[in-house]
Structure 1
Amino acid sequence: MQFNLFTFIFLFAISTSVLSLLWLNFRQDKAINNSFNVVPEGFSKSIKLEDHQKAGSYTKAKLLLNHFEIIFSTVVLLIWTLGGAMDSLNSYWSQRILDPVFMGTVFVLSIMLIASLIDLPFSIYRTFVLEQKFGFNRMTIRTFVGDLFKEILLTLILILPLIYAILFLMNIESIGNYWWIYVWLIISGFSLIMMWIYPSYIAPIFNKFNLLENESLKNRITSLLTRTGFGSDGIYVMDGSKRSSHGNAYFTGIGKNKRIVFFDTLLKGMEDKEIEAILAHELGHFHHKHTQKRMVSSFIFSFASLALLGFLIKQTWFYNGLGVTEPSSHAALVLFALALPVFSFFITPFSNLASRKHEFQADAFAASHTDANDLISSLIKLYKENSSSLSPDKYYSAFHDSHPSAVLRIERLQ
């Protein structure tokens, strides 16, 4: 291994991000402890102290698990890079597969599968211990294993050809230094196609979707869609209770292939007028074109990232600095994917800030087309049923939360 200055920059970035994440976790834990025995002002009539404390305990349990995940994932990252594991895996496959594109595809797939296996114990603990302890888990071992195999199969069918196409473009000499533009076009096109096919073809692989049968609720929703000028491919109920008691709703798809989806757990705990208000919030995102804005932002970020990779792929110090001795397109792709989150860590608060602004705009839209009090009562029920913290630390929230706290959202609505 020939470590260099970039190695120390990488280690500094890792240390900074890890210490920041742990510091934020400790701040959040302290905030939960400080408000553990008192329901926040304005919620005392709607949320019992017992439910508030359950949410606090649930949040603290997730934080404790996250402590271990942060440290463990950092160790794994260092083993893959500076520890030489990636270099060894690269040597193993290069001795057995001659075609560089196929070899690179197998190499990337191997890392993805190994990473999934490494993360599996955390996933099992989160589902069958943590979620089970607080009464949220409905997942059976059979469903868990079935989901795992479905995800692997989808990876082989959808992601594997994408990886091959990317590496193929990276290895075409006639394209020259601008291969990354073609790769960006492929990735952007793939993303749009996935958004189109997900509601009708991907989601049903994991869940059952039935058309909404509640006529009074259906009439409310139809009236709301008419008032706001929206159309959809249908109003569906998803069997979310198959995996969890957490409730949710979402509006998915692009173009004419859009679906309104309610979790069955959500419908059981809400009144029709509250469900209408929740849907109005989701429609607010479409009214303000938040989905399109996030999509454009994502495309711009991926364009800039691939342009940077186009520069780094030719730099020997990039490979050596991250523990790889033999430069290659597939090694550059994986190294970049591993290192990018480390260096882009401090961009996260700005992304979440924009997301929280979008949530306020969607709330305002819902309040203008439904009764704001209905949205307030639905938010309180959602926070209660999902055991979400009502008093998060402001810095933790800035880094991690894409949604404003319940207190801030309700204050705005009032």
Structure 2
Amino acid sequence: MRKKFLFFTLLFYGIYAACMYVYIFHMGTGQIPASLKGSVADPAVFMSKHELLLSEEYSKIRNYLFFVVTPFEWIIYLFILIAGLSRLFEKWAISKAKSTVFRTAIYVFWLNFISYVLLLPIRYYSYHLSMEYGISNQKLFSWLKEGWIDFGVNYIMSAIVMATIYWLMQKSLKNWWLYTWLLSIPFTIFVMFVQPVVIDPLYNDFYPLQNKELETKILTLAEKANIPADHVYEVNMAEKTNAMNAYVTGIGNNSRIVLWDTTLNNLTDREILFIMAHEMGHYVEKHIYYGVAGYILLMLIGLFLTAKIMNWSVRHYGSVLRVKKVSNISSMPLFLLITSFLLFVSSPVSNIVSRYQEERADQYAIALTGDHEAAVSSFQKLTKAGLSEVNPPRLIKWFRYTHPPMLERIYTVYDKSQSSNEGNNK
């Protein structure tokens, strides 16, 4: 029964992977609308033929990896269950510790370790791909070190979270999901509060913007937006990547506006001011707080569905999965499989919200700076640096794009510029 179950799972995965390959490489072409060809939104205008070719190849490979790797993770969890590895990890944990908390911590280590090892070749291929296409210039040791840090941080977080969840399961098998959700609210806020000052510095060096003249311009813009800001932070990314980025992170007094040094090195002051005005738009419109609220709501729905699906799965397929009770820590791969699946299928909804917020931030930046030209040129340079797909196929946009595609962003700011000019001429 177990072999049959695993066989059909792998068969279905193979068919799915083949269908996604056909869609991404042969059907899902994001053509530029005829009305926009030759405009500032057309990548053929601001990218060379070689860059266009690289962008198309790189985007297709990355999109395909996204759609096949996530389900592959689910198969790993399924294999760990069906092969009896989960039961083995549980026995080791029980033999080493009496406390549920420490047993869970031991179990989580082995589960994370084997998952990390099995996924390492795919992670390395992604790293090699980014090097091959000139996106990354990170040294192998630096990449490995970052992976070890990832493993350590993820292990600590997972051990805390899973120990709490399985302790609650043993206390209340019926309502553990509700109690978990209630505890997740302060935990989520705490993690977001400490991330800029505790977690992020583990990966990169953050320091106040070194270009004081530019910092003065940014702080003047912040004052114009009624944002109380004393510093803009710069992060050293040039030794890792050629891509550019800026973002807002954290909440409360620990919130930060961060610029990658690659952004500083490749954009003009006007373009950087537009980018910073965009990030200020997120702050002014409280997108971080809405994001936290949305995450907490999705957590409630997700935990409720996870509890229902886990109960049903163990009740009907417990013998196949080698799980006797939901509250046994050997059920953890099932928990992770279900939650990962729910996150995957819900991502189009969360991405719609994110794209709306990014569009609002673009509008705010234009209103604050009035610099349509800098907006267009900054979007063009971001596209070239990241070899971004400016007009992805619909399915790719739904599942992958937290920002509006660059075709839409460039056209929107350019169209408003044209409308503004026509209004002024009248």
Q: TM-score range by the shorter chain?
A: 0.7 to 0.9
- 1:279 partner SS: helix
SS in 1 for 2:321: coil
State the partner residue of 1:108: 108
Equivalent residues of 1:25, 1:63 under 8 A apart: no
Shift of 1:154: 2.9
Other-structure match for 1:359: 358
CA contact (8 A) 1:54 1:387 kept: yes
Which one of the candidate residues 14, 24, 31 is aligned to 1:28? 24
Match of 1:271? 268
- Summarize deviations over 1:20-61 as a string: whole Å, max 9, x none: 67645533333677869x995423432222222221122233
Give the CA RMSD over aligned residues. 3.3
Q: Matched residues in 1 for 2:247 and 2:15: separation?
A: 35
Pair 122,156 (structure 1): closer, same or farther in 2 beyond 3 Å: closer
Tell me how far apart the structure 2 counterparts of residues 26 and 411 of structure 1 sit (CA, whole Å). Answer: 30
> Are 1:317 and 2:302 counterparts?
no
Aligned to 2:58: 58
Instruction: Tell me if the contact between 2:218 and 2:273 (Cα under 8 Å) persists in the aligned partners.
Output: yes
Q: Which amino acid aligns with 1:307?
A: F
Aligned to 1:187: 184
* 1:55 alignment partner, SS class: helix
Q: CA deviation at 1:183?
A: 2.0
Alignment match, 2:324: 326
Change (3 A) 1:314 1:381: closer
Q: How does 1:325-404 map to 2 (within 5 A)?
A: 325-329=323-327, 330-343=329-342, 345-370=344-369, 371-404=371-404
2:422 maps to: none
The residue aligned with 1:292 is: 289
Name 1:168's counterpart in structure 2: 167
Aligned to 2:216: 219
**What is the rounded CA distance, in whole Å, between the counterparts of 1:106 and 1:68 in structure 2?**
30
Summarize the Cα distance change of 1:318–1:258 in structure 2 as closer, same or farther, 3 Å threshold. farther
Confirm whether residue 229 of structure 1 aligns to residue 222 of structure 2. no
Q: How does 1:117-136 map to 2 (within 5 A)?
A: 117-127=117-127, 129-136=128-135
**Does structure 2 retain, via aligned residues, the 8 Å contact 1:391–1:405?**
yes
> How big is the shift at 1:184?
1.8
- What do the CA deviations read for 1:265-295 (whole angstroms, capped 9, x no partner)? 1111101111111111122222222222221
Structure 1 unaligned segments of length 5 or more: list them.
none
Task: Determine helix, strand or coil for the equivalent of 1:171.
Answer: helix
* Distance 1:304-1:390 versus aligned 2 partners, 3 A rule: closer
Distance 1:187 1:322 in 2: 31
Contact 2:282 2:357 in 1 (8 A): yes
Note if contact 1:232-1:256 (Cα within 8 Å) is conserved in structure 2.
no
CA 1:291–1:56 in structure 2 vs 1: closer, same or farther (change >3 Å)? same
TM-score of the aligned structures, taking structure 1 as reference length = 0.86
CA separation in 2, counterparts of 1:96 and 1:359? Answer: 49
**1:380 shift after superposition:** 0.7
* Residue identity matched to 2:315: W
**Contact preservation (8 Å) 2:29, 2:392:** no
Asked whether the 8 Å contact 2:165–2:180 carries over to 1, the reply is yes
For the residues of structure 1 that align with 2:412 and 2:30, how far apart are their CA atoms? 24
- CA change 1:320–1:40 in 2 (3 A) is farther
| Distance apart, 1:242 and its partner CA | 2.2
* Structure 1 residues 21 and 373: CA distance shift in structure 2, 3 A: farther
Does the residue aligned with 1:237 lie in a helix, a strand or coil? strand
Q: C-alpha separation between the residues in 2 aligned to 1:191 and 1:21? A: 34
- Alignment partner of 2:300 out of 280, 298, 303: 303
Indicate the larger mover: 372-381 or 280-289: 280-289
**What are the within-5 Å matches in structure 2 for residues 31-110 of structure 1?**
41-42=38-39, 43=42, 44-63=44-63, 65-66=65-66, 69=69, 72-94=72-94, 97-110=97-110
CA drift at 1:203: 1.2
Partner in structure 2 of residue 261 of structure 1: 258
Q: Alpha carbons of 1:403 and 1:41: their partners in 2 closer, same or farther (altered >3 Å)?
A: farther
Q: What is the CA–CA distance in structure 2 between the aligned matches of 1:348 and 1:22, rounded to whole Å? A: 22
Contact 1:87/1:323 (8 A) holds in 2:
no
| Residue 238 of structure 1, aligned match among 235, 240, 245 | 235
| Contact 2:248–2:282, Cα closer than 8 Å, also in 1 | no
The aligned length equals: 405
- Give CA deviations for 1:328-359 in whole Å, capped at 9, x if unaligned: 42244441221233356433222222222222
Offset, 1:306: 2.5
Distance 1:319 1:27, change over 3 A: closer
User: Bigger shift: 266-275 or 354-363?
Assistant: 354-363
Q: Is the 8 A contact 2:219 2:229 kept in 1?
A: no
| Range moving further from structure 2, 308-317 or 294-303 | 308-317
Query: Relative contact order: is structure 1 or structure 2 higher (C-alpha 8 Å, sep ≥ 6)?
Result: 1
